[in-house]
Amino acid sequence: MSEATDGRRVALITGAGRRRVGNVVARAFARRGYAVAIHYRGSAAEAKETVEELRAVGCSAWPVQADVAVEADVVRMVRAVQEQFGRIDVLVTAAAIWQPTPLEELTADDLLRHLSVNTVGTFLCCLYVGRVMVQQPEGGAIITIGDWAIERPYRNYAAYFASKGAIPTLTRMFAVEFAARNPRVRVNCILPGPVMLPSDLDPGERAEAIAGTLLRREGTPEHVAEAAVFLAEHGYITGVCLPVDGGRTIAPFSA
C-alpha cells in the first residue's frame, strides 16, 4: 500500500540530497504537508539524513537514487515514486552541475557533461513525470530551475550557460504539450540569481555579485523554495519563467 492513500500531495525534488537549493525546496514542501521524494545521485548519506530529519518531525519522506542523465534511471525513479506514494503532484528539477572552465581550456566533453545533466536530465524528468501527471485527474505542477544569467552570462561558465539556456524553452514546450493532454498540468520555471554563492568564492567576486542586484543583497535558497511552492500551488500560471534574483536581470548597472 502506498504512503499517500490519505490524499497527501506528493512532490519529487531532484538534486535534493546535498545541502543545496534542492534540499531546501524539499523541506519547504514537506512543511506544507507534502510527502516528498528526495532524489540524489551520489549523496546517499546526506539524503538519508534529510529523510530521517523530516520523518522525525512527522513529515513523510523517502529517498530515491538516479542519474538523471540516464533515461533508464529516470524511468526507474519515476516508477519507484509512483509505487511508493501512488501519485506525483509536483516535480522540481533542481539537479544540476556547474564547473567553471576558462574558454581556452573548454572541450566538447565539458559541454556534453553539462548538457547531459542540466538539459537532458531536466528534459527526461519532465517527460516521464509529465506522462504520469497527464493521467491524473488533478494533473500536477512541474517547476524547472534555470539561471538568471543566461540573459547576461559571465566568463568561464560557457558549458554551464549553454546547458541552462535551453531550460526556458523546455519549460514553455512542455507547458504546451502537457496542457494539450490534460489542462490541469502546469509547467513553470524559476531563474535564480545569487541565492547560494559558493563558500569559497573570492570576496571581491561575492561583493560584485551582490552589488549587481537592485536589492543590493544576496538571496537565499529559501527564496527559491518559496517561489517553487507558489508556482506549484497557483492554479492559473503556466509557461512562465520567474526570476528570483533581486532584480539582477534588469539592473541598469553592470557587476
Active site residue 157: no
Grid coordinates representing 248?
Answer: 539582477
Angle between helices 44-56 and 21-31 (to 10 degrees): 20
CA-only gyration radius of the chain, Å: 18
Catalytic residue among 34, 154, 160, 236: 160
| HSE value, Cβ hemisphere, 13 Å, CA-based, for 42 | 2
Grid coordinates representing 42?
Answer: 551520489
For cell 509547467, what's the residue? 187
Residue 64 corresponds to which amino acid? V
> What whole-number distance in Å separates Cα of residue 245 and Cα of residue 191?
7
Q: What residues act catalytically?
A: 160
